[in-house]
């Protein structure tokens, strides 16, 4: 009985707020609404001083995988193994090693010149809007950077460039070198035929 009354009161309060907001939007002058919105944002920023920067995995009209996203993923993999509570293991392509990265919806911190930065790996699953007898999930992944707003300029001008350079350097270190040799002509045909074959190069040192 108490729960029913609580939901009834909550519904009435929500309806009242929606009605008041509609009246405010329709009848109050734009100048007054803009003034109230400006100062409400200032009040909110006092209690929530952080800013957020989103880095999507796929960007552009052709939805290609973002090089920046890949660089961030490589950069975070260097310290996520010691700081993250949940890790995801990926085998390096054609390799013998395992790359540990942040699991989805996991958060770790990073330090840059005494500034604490928070990184969150987020994955959203949403159903596709296309008609199908077999519902499919559309995945979207992105990294969210969170930092105090007083460090905005440092993050934008220095930190992001820093992680991109370090991430690309990490990718180069993880990349395997291969030695290619020419196959005999008798092996060029068939569904597995190829003119070139390769082996992983392992330095004797």
Question: Which pLDDT tens digit goes with each residue over 63-101?
Answer: 888 999 999 988 988 776 666 677 777 766 555 666 677
Percent of the chain at pLDDT above 90? Answer: 26
**Residue-level pLDDT at 63:** 81
- pLDDT tens for each residue of 13-38: 677 767 776 766 676 676 666 666 66
For residue 205, the model assigns a pLDDT of 46
How far lies 99's CA from each of 91, 159, 167, 168, 177, in Å?
6, 24, 13, 15, 17
Q: What global pTM score does this model have? A: 0.58
Locate the domains of the chain by residue range: 50-125+138-179
| CA 163 – CA 74 distance, rounded (Å) | 9
- Determine what percent of the chain is predicted with pLDDT higher than 70: 50
Residue 104: name the closest of 89, 117, 87 by CA. Answer: 87
Taking 70 as the threshold, does the pLDDT of residue 108 lie above it? yes
pLDDT average, residue stretch 157-171: 93
Q: Long-range contact list for 94-99, CB < 8 A, 24+ apart? A: 94/176, 94/200, 95/174, 95/176, 95/200, 97/174, 99/174
The Cα-based distances of 24 to 12, 20, 21, 34, 43 in angstroms read 18, 6, 5, 12, 19
Residue 159 has pLDDT above 80, yes or no: yes
Q: What pLDDT was estimated at residue 11? A: 66
Nearest-5° angle of CA 195, CA 173, CA 200?
A: 30
Whether residue 140 is predicted with pLDDT greater than 50 in this model: the reply is yes
Burial category of 70 from C-beta neighbours within 10 Å (exposed 0-12, middle 13-18, buried 19 and up): middle
């Amino acid at each position: 009985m108490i729960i029913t009354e609580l939901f009834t009161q909550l519904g009435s309060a929500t309806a009242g707020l929606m009605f008041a907001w509609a009246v405010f939007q329709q009848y109050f002058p734009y100048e007054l609404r803009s003034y109230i919105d400006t100062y409400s944002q200032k009040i909110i920023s006092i209690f929530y001083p952080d800013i957020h920067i989103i880095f999507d995995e796929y960007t552009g009209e052709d939805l290609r995988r973002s090089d920046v996203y890949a660089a961030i993923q490589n950069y975070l993999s260097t310290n996520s193994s010691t700081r993250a509570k949940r890790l995801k293991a990926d085998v390096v392509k054609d390799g013998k090693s395992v790359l540990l990265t942040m699991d989805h919806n996991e958060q770790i911190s990073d330090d840059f010149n005494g500034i604490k930065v928070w990184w969150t790996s987020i994955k959203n699953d949403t159903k596709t809007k296309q008609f199908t007898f077999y519902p499919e999930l559309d995945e979207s992944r992105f990294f969210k950077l969170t930092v105090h707003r007083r460090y905005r300029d440092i993050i934008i001008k220095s930190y992001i460039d820093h992680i991109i350079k370090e991430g690309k350097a990490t990718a180069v270190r993880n990349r395997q070198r291969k030695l290619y040799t020419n196959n005999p002509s008798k092996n060029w045909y068939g569904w597995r035929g190829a003119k070139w074959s390769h082996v992983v190069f392992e330095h004797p040192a």
